[in-house]
Amino acid sequence: MNRSRTWRAVAVILALSLAAAGCGRDDDDSGDSDDSSTDDTSASSASFIDPAEDCEDYQPTQGISGDTITVGTVRPAQGPYAIYDTVTKGVEKFFDAANAKGGVKAGDGKSYQIKLLKEDDGYDPGRTPDAVKKLVEQDQVFAMVGQIGTENNLSVRTYINDKCVPSVALATGSPEWGKAAEYPWFIGGLPSYAAEARVALEFLEKDNPDATIALLYQNDDFGKSYQAAIEKYIEDTGSQMSVVAQQPYDPNSGQTTEGVTTQLAQSGADVFFVGIGGTPCPRTLTFIPADWQPTVYVSITCSGKIALSLAGGKDEGIYSTQAQLDAASPADQANPKVQQFIQDGQAQGLTMTDIEGGIVSAGWGFASIFARALELSPTVERADIMNTLYSMQDENFGLMRDEMSVNTNDAEDPWLFEQLRMVHREGGQWVQASELVEFDGESNEFVGG
């Protein structure tokens, strides 16, 4: 009797509270309806992204308050990939430097201060969605800039795309970022890894047309895009080169690459392609046994001076690719862009070690992409920023080499950087090993798998 009475009381309370709450959450739309910016149709139908078609709940100017634009980024601040935090430092310092000079002058004629909010995901794609949701929904950022990690960015691809938040200058070159028709709110800040592998193989082939290759690849989309692109190159060109041994490496396994490197060494291959990132990449060079002397190529993601300082001096003679000016190279230091970078960077407290390290400068480059998009965009709205990035013509900015130019054309040609040069490590410096290789509009064609 008492039991049922208690539960009846519970039921009544529940029913009451349900009824009280019946009308549901206050709808945000009603509050926003007087906002003039939502009903404008500035994006013409010719634009690549048309928010009216592509977005359910388009917030064109979220994150802009007065003359401040708040942007966000997610990077690992702890763990073996925490070295990438230095990339974010570069992004931050670029904005600080721009802010100190009065801000970025956008296409609408106003100068904006840019504020960067950072979150940590420890390079764990399982943690990235929470971090990004916090930035987008709680902190209300305008865009994501220079976000680290292929898998990490993939884990929020649907979300970012659904929310119509620009994710500019991804710090990853996965061929996935070439799928602009599917996911138009992303644009990569690195050359496609597939294109990088292509350039590297073409170069190595000239030296040794029958080269045998030992491949170490990161066991995720990043590493596998090298693997697939190498296979595709050999298949497409009928090259006599061959992959004779390959080993995956799991970035979150907590192990070193010593075991897999030793296994690969047993192949005695002519070329060792190191397709991994983070500190495990330079460390791998220290694990190459003395009796194996392959031509080593390291991923563009670990070609910075700071990364290679972890190679214990084993970086001599290795190859990599470069898309930017190299502040550590005496040849490039004379370039006015590098001069400016050194001057602005030092004014923001960067040391010469930071500046020459190659990692800060990567972040500096990512931030410059966003800044350039702001400058060129007719209005500071989310869709306009993306449309600007997808319709660039002969642009050269940031730390790009003088002979480079950025050309994009919607989903036809969504890659910003489609030029690379091969570099060779000599006496702790990168020395040009080949002229800039051009592949404008072709990045998506190199993708294997």
Partner 1 sequence: MTDIATPTVEPMTSGSRGFDSQRALRVAPVVVILVLCIVLPLMLSEFWVDRITGWIPLAIAALGLNLLTGYNGQISVGHGALYGLGAYTSAILVGDQGWPLFLAVLGGALVSFAAGVIIGLPALRIRGLYLALVTLSVAVLFPELVRQAEGLTGGTGGYYITEPQVNSRGVVVDRPIRLEAPEWTGLANDQWRFYVFVVIAFACFVLARNLVHSRTGRAMIAIRDNEVAAEVNGVNVARIKVLTFGVGSALAGVGGGLYALWRTQLFPQSFTLLASFYFLVAMVVGGPASIIGPAIGAVFYGFFADVITPELPERVKPATPLILGVLLIVLMRVAPGGVVGLARTTMARFAVARAAPRGADSESAAGEDETASISRSEE
What are the residues binding partner 1 (CB under 8 A)?
2-3, 5-6, 9-10, 13-14, 17-18, 20-21, 24-25, 53-54, 77-78, 118, 120, 124-126, 129, 133-134, 137-138, 151, 154-155, 158, 181-184, 219-221, 224, 250-253
Beta strands in 126-255 (DSSP E): 143-145, 167-170, 186-188, 212-218, 242-249
| Closest to partner 1 by CB, 151 or 326 | 151
Q: Is 214 left (phi over 0), alpha (psi -120 to 50) or beta?
A: beta
| Closest to partner 1 by CB, 79 or 103 | 79
Closest to 325 measured CA to CA, from 367, 281, 355: 355
| Closest to partner 1 by CB, 159 or 292 | 159
Q: Report CA-CA distances (Å) from 298 to 15, 226, 301, 302, 421.
A: 64, 11, 8, 7, 14
Dist. CA 186–CA 177, nearest whole Å: 7
Dist. CA 76–CA 227, nearest whole Å: 25
State the amino acid at position 294 in one-letter form: P
Dist. CA 94–CA 107, nearest whole Å: 19
Dist. CA 229–CA 56, nearest whole Å: 36
Q: Report CA-CA distances (Å) from 207 to 195, 202, 271.
A: 19, 9, 11
| Closest to partner 1 by CB, 182 or 426 | 182
Reduced to 3 states (helix: H, G, I; strand: E, B; else coil), residue 14 is helix
Q: How far apart are CB 13 and partner 1 at their closest, in Å? A: 6
Q: Report CA-CA distances (Å) from 208 to 3, 141, 202, 241, 264.
A: 85, 50, 10, 8, 19
| Closest to partner 1 by CB, 202 or 410 | 410
Q: Kindly give, in sequence order, each residue whose CB lies less than 8 Å from that of residue 34, ignoring residues fewer than 6 positions away.
A: none
Q: How far apart are CB 205 and partner 1 at their closest, in Å? A: 30
| Closest to partner 1 by CB, 254 or 427 | 254
| Closest to partner 1 by CB, 76 or 345 | 76
Q: How far apart are CB 118 and partner 1 at their closest, in Å? A: 8
Dist. CA 58–CA 52, nearest whole Å: 8
Closest to 242 measured CA to CA, from 204, 277, 297, 194: 204
Q: How far apart are CB 53 and partner 1 at their closest, in Å? A: 5
| Closest to partner 1 by CB, 56 or 291 | 56
Dist. CA 190–CA 301, nearest whole Å: 9
Q: How far apart are CB 416 and partner 1 at their closest, in Å? A: 21
Contact between 394 and 426 under an 8 Å Cβ cutoff? The reply is: no
Q: How far apart are CB 70 and partner 1 at their closest, in Å? A: 16
Q: How far apart are CB 276 and partner 1 at their closest, in Å? A: 12
Contact between 73 and 91 under an 8 Å Cβ cutoff? The reply is: yes
Q: How far apart are CB 138 and partner 1 at their closest, in Å? A: 6
Q: How far apart are CB 258 and partner 1 at their closest, in Å? A: 18
Q: How far apart are CB 128 and partner 1 at their closest, in Å? A: 10
